[in-house]
Amino acid sequence: MTKLSVNINKIATLRNARGHNRPDVLQAASDCERFGAQGITVHPRPDERHIRYQDVRDLKPIVTTELNIEGNPTPDFLDLVREVRPEQVTLVPDAPDAITSNAGWDTVRHQQYLQGIVRELKDLGCRVSIFLDPDLEMVRAAATTGTDRIELYTEAYASGYHADREAAIAPYRAAAELAQQLGLGLNAGHDLDLDNLAYLQQQLPGLAEVSIGHALICDALYLGLENTIQLYRRQLA
């Protein structure tokens, strides 16, 4: 079964809008787990516009499933990871001013750099995942970095799903099949929702985990957080 990791960045965005502690990010993470989430994902950015570095420190001792920290491996990010030692680190090449992640790594160009980062993170006891577009050359190059998994950036799939879901999923299926052949674990994330998630899961062999935040939190406004998490879990059954 594919695991659901809930990205709680948007809960932190709402909290930060008023400058107090409502909603409580730590309580939200615990509630997500209680409601069925099989992991908690956070993506701290340098400006701390949603998840703050201190949030990550505070989350580590209370998350009972699996903590996944996403981000660009800048010196500050790596210092945080060394301190917190999450179960999984997802390396994302986002610029400091990016609204959201919008591209995968060029694992050919950044091969040596990624090898060093992956080696250090694995020495810390973290599982490592590299954020990738569904490009076969990039998947092959990712396998030589030593990473445990790749995470497929699914924005293009989500954008094309309603027009032609078979065409939209085709490059992702090919990337997933190659990842299996190369011994890489497979994650996926970005713009996944209750409409497109089940088909993605059915079509990608070996899909271990999806991380979903924006759409899930939007749905929770209308459906309630507990019900929403259960609905997403059913799409992955």
Q: Residues annotated as binding site?
A: 7, 18, 45, 50, 100, 191, 213-214
Q: Is 20 a catalytic residue?
A: no
Catalytic residue, from 43, 66, 151, 209: name it.
Answer: 43
H or E stretch including 222? helix 214-223
Catalytic residue among 33, 66, 190, 209: 190
User: Active-site residue among 33, 66, 70, 209?
Assistant: 70
Residue type, 6: V
Count of CA atoms in the C-beta half-sphere (13 A) of 76: 11
Contacts for 19 with CB less than 8 Å, ≥ 6 apart? none
43 is catalytic: yes
d(CA 154, CA 128): 19
Mark the binding-site residues for 1-deoxy-D-xylulose 5-phosphate, compressed into ranges: 45, 50, 100
C-alpha to C-alpha distance for 237 and 232, rounded to whole angstroms: 9
Q: Which helix (H) or strand (E) holds 207?
A: strand 207-212
Q: Are 126 and 164 in contact (CB under 8 A)?
A: no
Cα separation values, 70 from 17, 38, 89, 228, Å? 22, 16, 6, 23
Identify the CA nearest to 124 among candidates 80, 94, 92.
Answer: 80
Q: Which residues are catalytic?
A: 43, 70, 190
